[in-house]
Structure 1
Amino acid sequence: MMYIQCTRKLLSLIDEPKEGLPADLGDESFCWHANVIELNGEQCVIMVNNVAMFLALFILEPFVDFTKQVRKAIRISLEDSGLPPGAVTKYLASSRAFRFCPTSDRSQIGRLNQVAHMAKEHLAWVETQNEGDHPLPDNVLEFPSPNKGPMQKPKERKARQVPSKPVSNETPRKMVALDVELGLVKGNGPVKRSFLVPLDITFGDLHDILQIGFGWQNLHLHEFRLKKRLVRIGMFLPDDPFMDDFSPQDLLDEKLTHLSDYIPRVGTVEYEYDFGDSWIHTIKVGQVTTAVDVVHPECTAGVGSTPPEDCGGLYGYSHLCKVLSDPSCEEYEELLSWAGDEFGLPFDKASINKSLKRLSL
């Protein structure tokens, strides 16, 4: 069964049987959250998968079977993310039927809110480039989304770095040890980084540290989660009137929320980067110490190579590694060219710390 969890606004617009949500959803990869938004005067449906955070966006056609519209949008979303067409067909066939239910997860609604902002901002930018109205394209829309596949490599972009400001070595500063592990498919080897960071920095600062430490390019949305996901910290986005089911007010502003507000009382923090590829980092909080000679965050240890941006998440990365380990594979040359020279580079503590020193914290 494929569960499409819709906001009240969307449920009121579609001509489909509405059913209650079962207590046990089973495999949540077959669950999507959906809402309706307005883009350039058109009513559009935006959908995010509960597990992998694949994104689908399409124009709502009132006189076309809604289930068919959803099925088509999901297929295009998954194929654009790099999944083989055969695997997508099997996934859709396994769902058997579609059930349209009310929304149930505040965090998923928050993601819909963030992705909708991204869509609106992109179309607004397109309008400025065209110096006029930008007509919406075909039924399934395309814009720089979190779930672009491995054949659409982004332009190079370095993590945000700013000149450092002088900090007195005479003032004691509390530091906290953080051990961070990136969750990957078994068999690809661990990817871990350890840091010593000031306890008085914000979660926004910690985001910058993690981007540098893991070699990400700061191209996507992100979020911190604490206390079994009851506390969410991320980029602050204004409220939107179309979010009629849940308010995004439970998302704390990462620029105003300090590590010391929760750490060391909270021992584990989850950090998700790129809601499309859904890279989950588990942060284990270690010992708090006082230092007078450490004025910058420091990477103290690490192992493993970070996956490339936009490679398709866990399964896309696993496929990429499998192909690049076999030069006889049909896709080898194509994926080798896409991955570039930086694929599989070993952990480089000196280079990471050189970049961390440029941060102004």
Structure 2
Amino acid sequence: MAEVMEQVPAYDVPFQGRMGQIIEKAVQVSLESFVSLASQSAPDGAPVGVGVSAARDLGQAEARNGRPVDALLAAYRVGSRAAWRELSVEAIAVGVDAATLGRFAELVFTYIDELSAASVAGHNRETSSTERERIVHLDRLARGLLTGVGEVELEAAAAAARWTPPRTLTAVMVPRHRLVRTVGVLDPRTLSLAEDLPGSVDTHSTLLVPDSGGRARQRLLALLDGHDAAVGPARPWTRAHESYERAVRGIGLRDGVVDTDALLPELVLQADPAALADLRAAALAPFDEVTDGAADRLADTLRAWLLLQGRRELVAETLHVHPQTVRYRMNQVRDLYGERLNDPDEVLAILLALGRTP
């Protein structure tokens, strides 16, 4: 144990507490098991008994404590050299012949190999079991975040998943077949959910990216460049469902990366398509009195007139027409609408109706 502590950095502090007791017991049991094995004329391949069981338990204990299996294997190598150095000195001192000493050496290192393999198996079993359990908890956490469960429940889920909550989360919707590729360019703490949620888009998967608000948002958008994605707003992590709902509504608004923060007016207008259709029918009803072609020209002119605050030269430049044409068209519009253009509420309704073409 002293040799291991000196040569293996992962064990360079004195063994103490429960873990120290486990390691010391494993060393003692392994040596006793070896002595028992070596004292009998066992055939090749005889079981090494309790030593293997102790080594497997040690591998599991090391995994639970977060130590890599490489450190344990290094400790076995150092320990076996130290043990053989002392054993060989004693064997030579009592006159053991060379052939017997050779077989003894083979037994020592075969035994160490079996202990190493048992520890690796124990470490892998514990690691895979722990990781599977953590994946289940992360999936449960992601579902809770996206469906908007309570804060207390979310904090418990985060603790069970051993996931440290960030300040904010940003929902990113990506086509399902691009999920793995997109996850690879994002923060390792990113949560993902490939399966459907009630009301979700079945062609897309959801990612929750930590701390990507403010100036960090531009870095996120740059990372996503070249990936089809709809990006919701950054929200406090317990309100990630708000970002998810916005990102879902952003799917398909543009090609490539859809930044919903840059498309708020369009998102507002499409939030209730039926209401928008009714608003458009009522607000644009006066255009029913002219032909379709004339209605389109007059609607474009009215929209530009309202947006540019009646500056005729700018309206003409925007529409690529002569200012006199703008004057003529607006006279027609006033004839159709009458006093409605003097009512702020009517003007707002008209502008909203003209704000997005069907």
Instruction: Give the TM-score normalised by structure 1.
Output: 0.24
Between 1 and 2, higher relative CO (CA 8 Å, sep ≥ 6) is seen in 1
Instruction: Give the TM-score normalised by structure 2.
Output: 0.24
